[in-house]
Amino acid sequence: MGVFVLSVEGRLLDMGALKEIPAVGTVQGLAFSSTEGREVYRHSASHILAHAVKELFPQAKLAIGPAIEDGFYYDFDIDRPFSPEDLAAIEKKMAEIIKKNSPFTRREISKKEALEMFGKMGEIYKMELIEALPDETVSLYEENGFTDLCRGPHVPGTGRIKAVKLLSVAGAYWRGDEKRKMLQRIYGTAFDSKEDLKKYLEFLEEVKKRDHRKLGRELDLFSINEEIGAGLILWHPNGALIRKTIEDFWRGEHLKTGYKLIFSPHMAKLDLWRRSGHWDFYRENMYSPMEVEGVEYEIKPMNCPFHIEVYKSSLRSYRELPIRYAELGTVYRFERSGVLHGLLRVRGFTQDDAHIFAREDQIEDEVQRILDFTLFVLNTFGFYNYDIYLSTRPEKYVGSDENWERATNALRLALEKKGLKYAVDPGEGVFYGPKIDIKVKDSLGRAWQCSTIQVDFNNPERFDVTYRGSDGQEHRPIMIHRALMGSLERFFGILIEHYAGAFPLWLAPAQVDVLTIAERHAEFALKVAEALRAEGIRAETNLENEKINYKIRISAMRKTPYSVIIGDKEVSEEGSALSIRKRSGETVGPLSISGFIELLKDEINSRR
């Protein structure tokens, strides 16, 4: 597909500007295949959307309409909400505009003129945007009588848009400010060909199929119950088994890697949270205190203060450092009802938390160790691609500039020594220290924030945490807060979608379903299942009076990795040649019972 926008020394320009470009620098044509090209393309589509809406709903006021990751949106201020039927009508109007193939033409006018022009049209949001612009002139783009304020560039003409689809309507605050008016936002997407659009829509279907809330019910993994409360998870036996397996793995690996496991209570005196600073900095996420014999207690939103108190329970020497405390600590945070989402955003969750107390000279090395450990754990769950971010000092912060500098450098060096690619997220650190965030990419290429490694200057100070140095003096250790999976709830939700519910053998709640062909095979089937269970394999039987096709279907829908079929043949051969079927439909074997057990154990141990 051809190019439709120019890149001149990194600046994007309309194709029409070609003749005006002075003969300096390199000129490059961009197509849909480039990120910038895609953005321009979809931004043009959003103009066409605005045009269509203005034709159908002249009273609608225009706000903004940028390109986003997978498409575009446009915000409108309109007295009535858009219905699905409206979307269909708008889409039809857009098709007409595209068919006309009117050229996008650029024009520059003074700010004053622009204000006057949009003022006459009653476009108050555009006026607000113009007023905020720094330059004296602003640019406008026009196609077929529709003019919009826009920096540009655009595709040459509306006919350049090959495939467009409106997806949804949602409320959105003007300028993202919840104190300002809520506008109606229309989301859509555009592609360079009908086939690519179709592929994207199929991707959306796949996302829907993998929705962990849907699979969670179908596979009987977990539930959320109105009687109990929003954002509070019930782990059903199948989900609990998976969680237990994850926890066992997690604890085992932590012990191997030099962590000490601890447990801490779910509540503590409010004074503790005052001292930690949470009551000042984090109160909006905390629940109201409860009174116990005249003293206020608070349910915990974090585990850190407890870990600090364990550290402080005795005098620490520099020889002991680093001290690493790990805990699967369940915390409760207030989240506004509208943000709750299945397992991914809840009010009670278990962090795979750890706090490391280290000397300053140990930070870089320790962070490297944590990075190794994190990637190992993520790999185990089938995540091999990551986006890594280094977040630096925010506007509001505690600690000295010098400390921040040193800690940020330590994080950066650790990343570089590991040869890990990362992006800097300026000003996105926590108030108490810089951090590294790792987002994993799942099997559909979606990024999820899980792991975080945070340096903390604040708490050692507030709690007066010390160690005795080789000089016999008291020193302040640095605290590193880290989570690998983030929270078990969220991680589980991500895993469900990542595997589409088909968990690898080591995690699968039922590993083998033993299925009988007729009732006379039940006795032998039970013997086979028992032999598997004796070896620690999670085997279940289906002895129902149903056809084998039915039982295979049920087993496959439960996504049990293996089923074993027991009929006359297997019984007469006494299990020397089991008929084994994978959930994918592939057959394995025939294998003897012991051969099958060996195969299963090998697969479980390698966590494939």
Q: Is 533 a catalytic residue?
A: no
Of the residues 254, 324, 351, 454, only one is catalytic, namely 351
- The smaller minimum CB distance to RNA, of residues 194 and 553, is found at 553
| Amino acid, res. 225 | N
Largest CA distance in the chain: 94
Binding of residue 570 to RNA (CB under 7 A): yes
Q: Looking up tokens 């620490």, which residue turns up? A: 316
Binding of residue 540 to RNA (CB under 7 A): no
The one segment of 223-231, 267-275, 355-363, 378-386 that binds RNA by CB under 7 A: 223-231
Shortest CB 465 distance to RNA, Å? 22
Q: Is 333 a catalytic residue?
A: yes
Binding of residue 230 to RNA (CB under 7 A): yes
Shortest CB 70 distance to RNA, Å? 10
Residue 537 CA to residue 587 CA, distance in Å, equals 19
| Amino acid, res. 474 | E
Binding of residue 22 to RNA (CB under 7 A): no
Binding of residue 266 to RNA (CB under 7 A): no
Q: Is 103 exposed, middle or buried (0-12, 13-18, 19+ CB in 10 A)?
A: middle
Q: Token digits for 411?
A: 């994080």
Q: Pick from 547, 574, 598, 606: which binds RNA (CB under 7 A)?
A: 547
Residues 526, 491 contacting (CB under 8 angstroms): no
Of the residues 165, 243, 300, 481, only one is catalytic, namely 481
Q: Token digits for 514?
A: 């033993």
- The smaller minimum CB distance to RNA, of residues 153 and 493, is found at 493
Binding of residue 277 to RNA (CB under 7 A): no
Binding of residue 490 to RNA (CB under 7 A): yes
Q: Is 47 a catalytic residue?
A: no
Of the residues 61, 93, 192, 304, only one is catalytic, namely 304
> Taking the CB of residue 236, how many other CB atoms lie within 10 A of it?
16
Picking from 555, 530, 533, 524, the residue whose alpha carbon sits closest to that of residue 542 is: 555
Shortest CB 393 distance to RNA, Å? 15
Binding of residue 569 to RNA (CB under 7 A): yes
Binding of residue 452 to RNA (CB under 7 A): yes
Binding of residue 77 to RNA (CB under 7 A): no
Shortest CB 583 distance to RNA, Å? 6
Binding of residue 209 to RNA (CB under 7 A): no
- The smaller minimum CB distance to RNA, of residues 226 and 280, is found at 226
Residue 330 CA to residue 337 CA, distance in Å, equals 20
Binding of residue 581 to RNA (CB under 7 A): yes
| Amino acid, res. 452 | T
Binding of residue 69 to RNA (CB under 7 A): no
Picking from 549, 354, 559, the residue whose alpha carbon sits closest to that of residue 453 is: 354
Q: Pick from 38, 47, 213, 300: which binds RNA (CB under 7 A)?
A: 213
Helices of type H across 164-211 = 194-210
Shortest CB 538 distance to RNA, Å? 19
Binding of residue 333 to RNA (CB under 7 A): yes
Q: Looking up tokens 């598997």, which residue turns up? A: 532
- The smaller minimum CB distance to RNA, of residues 172 and 242, is found at 172
Shortest CB 174 distance to RNA, Å? 9
Residues 149, 167 contacting (CB under 8 angstroms): no
Q: Pick from 59, 110, 137, 168: which binds RNA (CB under 7 A)?
A: 168
SS3 annotation, 406-472: HHHHHHHHHHHHCCCCCEEECCCCECCECEEEEEEECCCCCEEEEEEEEEECHHHHHCCCCEECCCC
The answer to whether the Cα torsion of 422, 424, 425, 429 is positive or negative is positive
Contacts of 63 (CB under 8 A, 6+ apart): 74, 75, 76, 77, 125, 174, 183
> CB-hemisphere CA count at 13 Å for 507?
22
CA dist 508 to 211, 236, 347, 438, Å?
18, 14, 26, 26
Q: Pick from 565, 591, 597, 600: which binds RNA (CB under 7 A)?
A: 565
Q: Pick from 423, 424, 447, 557: which binds RNA (CB under 7 A)?
A: 557
Shortest CB 137 distance to RNA, Å? 29
Q: Which residues bind RNA (CB under 7 A)?
A: 81, 168-173, 176-178, 182, 184-185, 211, 213, 217, 224, 226, 229-231, 333, 335-342, 345-347, 349, 351, 449-450, 452, 483, 486-487, 489-490, 517-520, 545-550, 552-553, 556-557, 565, 567-570, 579, 581, 583-585, 587
Query: What are the residue numbers of the active site?
Result: 304, 333, 351, 353, 355, 435, 481
